[in-house]
Amino acid sequence: MPTLRKLSVLYLLCATWFTVAIAFDRDPPLERASRSAVGVILKALNGHVVHPGAQLARAGTDRLIASLYPPRRVQTRITRATPAPNMPAPLRRQASVVIPATRPLAPRSPHLAAPSLPSAAVPEIHIAPSAPPPKIARTLPRSEVKPKIALLLPPPAVSAPTAAVRNSLAPTELVRVTLRLKENLTHEMLQNFKLFLYVSKADRGPWAQRLYVFRKDASDNLTMLYNWPASTGREKFEIAPNGTRQHTITPAGYYELDPSRMYQTHYSGEWREPMPYAMFFNWENHGYQTGLAIHGAAGFEVAQLGTRASAGCVRIGPENAQLLFGLIRAEYKGLAPRFAFDQRTATMSNDGVLMHDRAGNLNMAEGYKVLVFVENYGGENVVASLF
């Protein structure tokens, strides 16, 4: 029975801890307010309970010691010898001298005298001042270099992406990227979307970890507007800062942007990191709205662009995210087709299946005429790799 009670108490404590953790995760202001309140309570307890209690305990200990070992009053009577009969009367009196008792001294700990040894000569040690670490010059792409400015930065904490990923692709490679995207678009997609974002989440290859922006003209031809380095998910299971187990994957597929979740400034509650110019995907997976988005990199994340480094979102440079955010909101609002939705699994299709009514017409809704296509292909030449 005592074991069952202990297990019950442990279960209640764990349930309470998980409830508080979920509440704090969903409401960061509540977490901050709770931390502040706990700090005030602890400070008040220290000032009004702990400190006065320690003083009372110390005073009680002193009184107990005084009652157990009271100071003794020592009287020492000095009696003089009796004088001869012919001496004056004042000298015949016995003189008493009372010496007050002194307070007992605390016993001293034995003190051992260290033997005097001849002191050895201590050699002088001179420490030369350390030289500052050498600065390493990082060369930027030709498109980013400004005249008459030399940029010297310390080496980043993460491995820098290769030059093939960082630099712009050759014209022939750009043509291959365009053809690759067009091959993966259905006729309905090409007809009803106007801006296409192609993301390669591969970890190697000339196209790897890049985001390509294409605009469709009146003749349904695709023109590449931008070609930026990006960072997709790390593709493994991890424990997020909020204590939950997360799969840091960027799933391949087709996605639309959620018109109700476009934020210039956003903060991830799970990963405790900023997400500037966040454009969330409109994708429901097993009843849960996804947290995947395209957003700008912040801080050290900028140096990671070109590698798999995110928790699942597609990161791009902060200035590129601002440009894309403004372009989409200014020029691509309108009716867009909806992806099919499976009522049994409460999951929206990311395989490119669009929703139709009974008459076979596309189901349209207000949003952004922007299609995002993510695939795990780095642009390798399959034929050349066989030889």
Higher local confidence (pLDDT), 157 or 249: 249
Q: 3-state SS of 250-263? A: CCCEEEEEEEEEEE
The answer to whether 174 touches 167, Cβ cutoff 8 Å, is no
**CA-atom Rg of the chain in angstroms:** 40
Predicted confidence at residue 127, as pLDDT, reads 40
Tens-digit pLDDT profile for residues 84-124 = 555 544 444 444 444 455 455 444 544 444 444 444 444 44
Asked if pLDDT for residue 24 goes beyond 80, the answer is no
Give me the pLDDT at residue 282, please.
97
Q: Is the pLDDT of residue 157 over 70?
A: no
CB 381 within 8 Å of CB 283: no
What percent of the residues of the chain are helix, what percent strand, and what percent coil, each to the nearest 5? 30, 20, 45
pLDDT at 298: 96
**Cβ-based neighbour number of residue 328 at 10 Å:** 21
Mean pLDDT across the stretch 172-180? 94
Residue with tokens 């001179």: 126
The larger pLDDT score, comparing residue 122 to residue 35, is at 35
Backbone CA torsion sign across 240, 245, 248, 252: negative
- Identify the residue whose tokens are 């309108």: 334
**Confidence check: pLDDT of 192 > 60:** yes
pLDDT attached to residue 372: 98
Q: Rounded distance, CA 194 to CA 189, Å?
A: 9
Instruction: Tell me the per-residue pLDDT of 236-287, one tens digit each, with 9 for 90 and over.
Output: 999 999 999 999 999 999 999 999 999 999 999 999 999 999 999 999 999 9
Percent of the chain with pLDDT over 70: 72
The CATH superfamily assigned to 163-385 is: L,D-transpeptidase catalytic domain-like (2.40.440.10)
Is the predicted pLDDT of residue 135 greater than 70, yes or no?
no
Bridge partners, residue 238, by sequence: 246
Tell me how far apart the alpha carbons of residues 359 and 182 are, in angstroms, rounded to a whole number: 27
Instruction: For residue 301, give every residue at least 6 positions away whose Cβ sits within 8 Å of its Cβ, in sequence order, or none.
Output: 231, 273, 309, 310, 315
Q: Output the pLDDT for position 70.
A: 62
**Per-residue model confidence (pLDDT) at position 130:** 42
Name the least confident of 13-27, 62-76, 186-200, 323-337. 62-76
pLDDT at residue number 137: 44
